[in-house]
């Protein structure tokens, strides 16, 4: 017993001295902190392990080129395991470090931090997830669901199907296969709206978490409902299961379109490879593939350091989304510093910096979005790709980038009214 007690004491003393030793290195002059939340271990780690290196590489690239307007950017990544309390703890740390903007990660985390962001005047971005209604910048001043919210994705899917089916959806059947959680429910309002205006038949098929068992739903879709098109809104492991099951049921994958989190190379590989997924359509809010200047520069940066480019780069869908998120933050910070005439910007300045973003394309990697004080989504642009011959190929029947379709800023339907503040 004595030994244990002594051991515990020694351990406590050692850890205490360690914590003291690890004082962070003194901040260099002219440095800006950007907070980055990530999930490399939790429920959505399939995304996080690719997306977050993309963000880091882009910031490294910017710093290796001398930073932004003379400022070095320090990226502080904190892994929150897709849980809300660690996300809040991480946020408090960012605040203490004086972060000027924060890359959020995950819909519940975004919702939890929305109020705090407003109070502390720090802008946060939620690319491709989060609260769709936050596209309305006057109601949600410090949240940016940039690129494409779930509403825009759902609407874009309908638009794409409409074009595919000859420009008229009247009497057509569309199946909506979704992951049964709040994010899965999110596009429903917009689908329901469009169902009324476009007069198609819509049926929802829920996949309960964790989403690896959907044989019954797929049978129901393919044998009973027999839709003209399927919209698949799934996360994590489940997109690959959907591809596999639909294939097995003999449903043509060219009549399936996956929203943005059901659309990565990893999903196709997990489904059994490109030959299985041939024809599968995906919605993307960042460019897919290798042919973008930013990616070439990152590869060159690694070469210059005598290293191989990281293997994460091969999963272009998520990696490029990381580049997009990082590029937007860099651009916003740049705008903010310019507006302040070279002085160190505050969170409020960076928010205005975000709202001043336009014409940032990075050679086609980023959609041609125009953010403004009222439109925090920048137009809701997406691109459609199809799995073809071992990679995602840009769908030719639709324009290069599709803007938001069929919805303007909807009134505040997002919270039940009696419970809203």
Partner 1 sequence: MAATIGAVIGIPSLRIRGLYLAIATLAGQLIIEWTINHVSWISGGVQASIEVPRPTLFGAQLRTQAQFYVFLLFFAAVAIVATINLARSRIGRAFVAVRDQDIAAEIIGIDIFRYKLLAFAISSFYAGVTGVLYTYYLGIANYEQFQINVSIDYLAMIIIGGLGSVLGSIFGAIFVTLLPIVTRWMLEGLGGLILSPADLANIIPNLRLVIFGALIIIFLALEPEGLSRLWRNIVAYFRVWPFSY
Residues found near partner 1 in the complex (CB under 8 A)? 1-2, 4-5, 8-9, 15, 18-19, 21-22, 38, 40-41, 49, 52-53, 56-57, 60, 77-79, 81, 84-86, 88-89, 92, 108, 111-116, 119, 131, 180-182, 185-186, 188-189, 208, 310, 414-416, 419-421
Q: Which helix (H) or strand (E) holds 275?
A: helix 274-277
Give min distance, CB of 289 to partner 1, in A: 23
Give min distance, CB of 414 to partner 1, in A: 6
Give min distance, CB of 391 to partner 1, in A: 26
CA nearest to 208, candidates 184, 186, 192: 184
Residue with tokens 């309908």: 158
Give min distance, CB of 116 to partner 1, in A: 7
What are the tokens at 213? 């068992």
Closest CB to partner 1 among residues 411, 416 = 416
Helix, strand or coil, per DSSP, at residue 203: strand
Residue with tokens 């050679």: 363
What per-residue string of b and e applies to 102-119 under the rule 16 or more CB within 10 Å gives b?
bbbbbbbbbbbbbebbee
Q: What is the DSSP letter of 390?
A: T
Give min distance, CB of 351 to partner 1, in A: 20
Closest CB to partner 1 among residues 40, 162 = 40
Cα–Cα distances in angstroms (integers) from residue 247 to residues 112, 195, 275, 385, 412, in the given order? 38, 27, 11, 18, 39
Closest CB to partner 1 among residues 187, 367 = 187
The C-alpha atoms of residue 373 and residue 371 are separated, in whole angstroms, by: 7
Give min distance, CB of 253 to partner 1, in A: 29
List strands edge to edge, sheet with 201-207. 201-207, 173-179, 229-233, 256-258, 281-284, 383-388, 391-394
CB 203 within 8 A of CB 177: no
CB 239 within 8 A of CB 266: no
Give min distance, CB of 11 to partner 1, in A: 11
Closest CB to partner 1 among residues 137, 367 = 137
Give min distance, CB of 274 to partner 1, in A: 27
Helix axes 188-198, 150-164, angle to 10 degrees: 30
Q: Which helix (H) or strand (E) holds 384?
A: strand 383-388
């Amino acid at each position: 017993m004595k030994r244990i007690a002594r051991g515990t004491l020694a351990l406590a003393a050692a850890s205490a001295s360690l914590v003291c030793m690890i004082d962070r290195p003194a901040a260099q002059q002219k440095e800006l902190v950007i907070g980055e939340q990530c999930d490399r271990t939790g429920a959505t780690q399939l995304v996080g392990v690719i997306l977050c290196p993309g963000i880091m590489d882009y910031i490294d690239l910017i710093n290796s080129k001398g930073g932004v307007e003379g400022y070095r950017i320090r990226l502080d990544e904190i892994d929150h395991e897709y849980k809300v309390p660690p996300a809040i703890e991480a946020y408090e740390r960012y605040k203490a470090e004086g972060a000027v903007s924060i890359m959020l990660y995950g819909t519940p985390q975004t919702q939890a931090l929305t109020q705090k962001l407003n109070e502390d005047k720090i802008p946060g971005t939620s690319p491709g997830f989060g609260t769709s209604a936050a596209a309305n910048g006057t109601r949600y001043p410090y949240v940016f669901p940039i690129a494409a919210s779930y509403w825009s994705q759902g609407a874009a899917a309908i638009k794409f199907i409409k074009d595919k089916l000859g420009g008229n959806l009247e009497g057509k059947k569309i199946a909506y296969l979704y992951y049964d959680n709040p994010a899965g429910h999110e596009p429903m309002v917009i689908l329901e709206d469009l169902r009324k205006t476009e007069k198609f038949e819509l049926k929802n098929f829920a996949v309960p978490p964790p989403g690896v068992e959907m044989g019954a739903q797929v049978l129901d879709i393919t044998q009973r409902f027999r839709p003209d098109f399927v919209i698949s809104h799934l996360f994590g492991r489940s997109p690959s299961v959907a591809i596999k099951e639909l294939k097995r049921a003999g449903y043509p994958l060219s009549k399936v379109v996956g929203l943005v989190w059901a659309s990565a190379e990893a999903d196709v590989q997990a489904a059994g490879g490109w030959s299985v997924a041939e024809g599968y359509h995906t919605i993307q809010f960042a460019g897919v593939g290798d042919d973008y200047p930013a990616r070439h520069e990152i590869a060159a940066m690694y070469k210059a350091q005598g290293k191989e480019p990281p293997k994460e780069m091969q999963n272009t869908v998520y990696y490029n989304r990381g580049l997009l998120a990082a590029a937007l933050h860099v651009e916003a910070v740049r705008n903010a510093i310019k507006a302040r005439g070279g002085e160190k910007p505050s969170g409020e300045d960076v928010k205005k910096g975000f709202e001043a973003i336009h014409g940032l394309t990075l050679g086609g990697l980023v959609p041609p979005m125009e953010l403004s004080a009222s439109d925090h989504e920048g137009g809701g642009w997406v691109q459609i790709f199809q799995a073809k011959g071992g990679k995602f190929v840009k769908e030719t029947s639709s324009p290069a980038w599709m803007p938001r379709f069929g919805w303007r800023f909807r009134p505040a339907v997002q919270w039940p009214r009696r419970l809203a503040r």
